[in-house]
Amino acid sequence: MKVIFTRDFLALILSVAVVGLGSGATLPLTALALTQAGYGTDVVGLLTAAQAGGGLAIVPLTGWIAARFGGRQVIVGAVLTVAFATALMQLTTNLWLWALLRVLCGAALMLLFTISEAWVNQLADDASRGRVIAIYATNFTLFQMSGPVLVSQIADFPQVRFLLCGAIFLLALPLLATIRSAPLASSEEHAEHGGWRRVLPRMPALVIGTGFFALFDTIALSLLPLFAMSHGITSEVAVLFASALLLGDTTMQFPIGWLADRLGRERVHIGCGVVVVALLPLLPWAMSSPWLRWPLLYVLGAAAGAIYTLSLVACGERFRGVALVSASSLIGASWSAASFGGPLVAGALMKSVGNDAMVGVLLFAALAFLVAAWWERRRMVLQAAS
């Protein structure tokens, strides 16, 4: 697994980690600033949706932008855009301008993460791809989780807090400057066959799997504590449920990536989906037993996180060049759409049907992933037979 120790790989994952730290701080800081200014959760939700909308809007153009300007230049441009857009939030309190700046941040971050994920896949070889992508995902998650901690330290400095967040993004630029290789071939052949309309039919399970984990991740942070408290868990303990899920996700991605490299990625990918489908219905029943709920949450977080990680791995196996950028952009679009719409549906169902509806929403999404994976496998078998 020589790629792990190359300068380019280390510089890339560290630069993306810095961006993860900045983005993990900016969203909660924006929510805090709006709340302190007297705005309600509806305005906070609209600003969050504005960022997701910017990411979705740029998806159809991602492959063309990467081919036209080059991966390195687009990543640097994205870092500069999100840094200055975040810093400009310090200079105005106009909500319309804030919404526009969040749209710009969403588009820039979508470009950055799409191309960086494709770049990591390009740096990896097929023998170690599962472990390489797992290191990338784990590193990013750890730094993103540190974002709220950073907010707690700078929240009491309202005159400079958005400027500080913007400056964090700029720390990625020296790391990017040390990278020697240029990512992502952009030949006419790749560009011709790399559009998202050509790529999407070849990856429905990857798109749905990413959507499932985005939904899982967002619900874990927002609705899971409410679900736990409805089962008699105290609020102090309920807020730790998300931490247990994220702990499983963070610590188990490399072992699962190693297992996928050994046993076959498709087999482990589907196996993780089966584990999630088997464990989710046990969640309400396990709430009354501390000996069951914590191990259950840990394993559930590990399996759910691996569905996303192995979707990234599969992108690197199936696509090259601009097609890989388009595939990564579809992964990002699925994440944005599920993060935006999924909690709205889950929250409405929990209010009208009951809090256990949260489990039903996640179970439906996980089953959709397994059905899509079965369909993909069946189609490949039929194609091979013909």
* Alpha-carbon span 95 to 361, nearest angstrom: 33
Residue 185 lies in a domain: no
What CATH number does the domain containing 58 carry? 1.20.1250.20
- Please answer whether residues 67 and 149 qualify as being in contact, where contact means their C-beta atoms are separated by less than 8 angstroms: no
**Last residue in a domain, options 150, 178, 206:** 178
Q: Would you state the structure tokens that stand for residue 220, as one six-digit string?
A: 């874990």
* Residue 302 CA to its chain's centroid (Å): 15
Q: Does 289 share its domain with 163?
A: no
Q: Does 137 share its domain with 204?
A: no
> Would the pLDDT of 138 be above 50?
yes
Domain range holding 359?
190-386
What's the structural domain count of the chain? 2
Which residue carries 């297992």 as its tokens? 259
- Please answer whether residues 54 and 100 qualify as being in contact, where contact means their C-beta atoms are separated by less than 8 angstroms: no
Residue 132 lies in a domain: yes
**The predicted structure's pLDDT at residue 3:** 46
Would you list the DSSP string of 294-313? Answer: HHHHHHHHHHHHHHHHHHHH
Tens-place pLDDT, residues 204-250: 999 999 999 988 987 876 678 878 888 888 877 887 887 788 889 88
Secondary element (H or E) of residue 337: helix 321-352
Cα–Cα separations (whole angstroms), residue 345 to 22, 93, 213, 349, 352: 28, 31, 15, 6, 11
Q: Which of 26-35, 101-110, 311-320 has the lowest mean pLDDT?
A: 26-35
Residue 317 lies in a domain: yes
Q: Does 366 share its domain with 302?
A: yes
Residue 22: pLDDT band with limits 50, 70, 90: confident
Q: Does 199 share its domain with 319?
A: yes
Q: Does 332 share its domain with 195?
A: yes
Three-class DSSP category at 372: helix
Residue 142 lies in a domain: yes
Q: Does 217 share its domain with 259?
A: yes
Residue 183 lies in a domain: no
Q: Does 166 share its domain with 195?
A: no
Residue 367 lies in a domain: yes
Q: Tell me the percentage of the chain whose pLDDT exceeds 90.
A: 29
Residue 68 lies in a domain: yes
Residue 184 lies in a domain: no
Q: Does 162 share its domain with 232?
A: no
**Last residue in a domain, options 145, 178, 211:** 178
- Of the two residues 324 and 104, the one the predictor is more confident about is 104
Q: Does 122 share its domain with 245?
A: no
Q: Tell me the percentage of the chain whose pLDDT exceeds 70.
A: 92
* Alpha-carbon span 209 to 309, nearest angstrom: 10
